[in-house]
Copies of this chain bind each other. A is one copy, B any other.
Amino acid sequence: MTRKLNLVPFVSVEHMMKLVLAIGVERVLTDLAARIEEDFRGWSRFDKTPRLASHSVDGVIELMPTSDGRLYGFKYVNGHPKNRRDGRQTVAAFGVLADVGNGYPLLLSEMTLLTALRTAATSALAARYLARPGSRCMALVGNGAQSEFQALAFKALLGVTKLRLYDIDAAATRKCAGNLAGLGFDVACCASTGEAVDGADIVTTITADKHCATILTDAMIGPGVHLNAVGGDCPGKTELQRDILLRADIFVEFAPQTRVEGEIQQLDAAHPVVELWQVMTQQAPGRREARQITLFDSVGFAIEDFSALRYVREKLADNGLYHEIDLLADPDDPRDLLGMLRRAGTPPAAFHPLAPRFPQPSP
């Protein structure tokens, strides 16, 4: 490959949309779930660390790195519930995949859309191990940007076709129902969380407020339900009443991170939880019986982003949906960074206003 060392492929939002549309959303969700499952099964290969979060009054900015020893990936992601007021995304993200052998970035990509896709793919992947076989009906509580992706992932991976929507803002529910119309769902718009949850095999909560809310109360959850709790993902931000947690078998991505950020921040630090990779590698059971309540306490983990970036990079070769950006200095001699700078100056006098001349290096 004669690629210039200074250039790094960049996948813009526009290119990501084109990529997803070209492949098909449900196919992308299925592919992402397969990559995530592959990486979760290889759990021991990965450097794992809770994400590095910088909290402020209005939100959080996080860096989520991981590596399998061959590739290194990280995501930058924010979470600012107030953002919608001025037209911004609550969650925006971008990320980088790099070569561990030389530390050079291989890919810079938008990840706002990709995060929505990988979050939904992870939820549906977990549900394949945890929901009752034959689950077809899902309640979606919280109908924001993530909701339709959840619906599409559960359709693609589990065959969920009945949706029961609820949001405290009816406009969000209308938006969600509108976006899902014609895609093969039977959609019911509900007037309350209780109505949405009634009769659902799977209950997905994806609300955005940054505080401990009680979106689901204990009485709402009957036996056999799988809970996919996505919106409680920050210290001080939960969605489920604590009593539900005590009745459920709890599954998480990476316990040291979920203990701080997930629903289980409401529980004792010793409360038993199972990491998903343990289920995937048959080191722990998933769902054992029909009446069991299972909970996927999803907060989002770096390996999911790694898998998603890896997938996007695989697809780049086929489709050309990227720009190359001049991100890395590449002097002719790696040790001659100043020489590169100097040679970029025309006329040379511009290099330094005080230098009367700027001669070539002596031989």
Contacts and interface: CB of A to CB of B under 8 A. Distances in A.
A184 B327 CA distance: 32
Interface stretch (A93-101, A215-223, A259-267, A273-281): A93-101
A351 B21 contact: yes
A341 B25 contact: yes
A234 B81 CA distance: 38
A145 B336 contact: yes
Work out how many copies of this chain go into the complex: 2
Given A26-B352, A102-B88, A67 B72 contact: no
A354 B24 contact: yes
Interface in A146-162: 146, 148-149, 152
Interface in A331-347: 331, 333-342, 344-345
Nearest to A52: B52
Interface in A294-353: 323, 325-331, 333-342, 344-345, 350-353
Contacts of A112: 328-329, 337
A179 interface: yes
Interface string A187-208: 0000000000000000000000
A138 B336 CA distance: 20
A177 interface: yes
A265 to B, nearest CB: 21
Contacts of A26: 352, 354
A49 interface: yes
A13 interface: yes
Interface of A: 5-6, 10, 12-14, 17-18, 20-22, 24-27, 47, 49, 52, 54, 56, 58-61, 63, 65, 67, 69, 72, 74, 76, 78-80, 82-84, 86-90, 92, 94, 96, 98, 100-105, 110, 112-113, 116, 143-146, 148-149, 152, 172, 174-175, 177-179, 181-184, 323, 325-331, 333-342, 344-345, 350-363
Given A112-B329, A146-B337, 15 more contacts: A12-B326, A12-B327, A25-B341, A25-B351, A26-B352, A54-B65, A63-B74, A79-B103, A84-B335, A89-B337, A143-B335, A145-B334, A148-B337, A174-B361, A179-B342
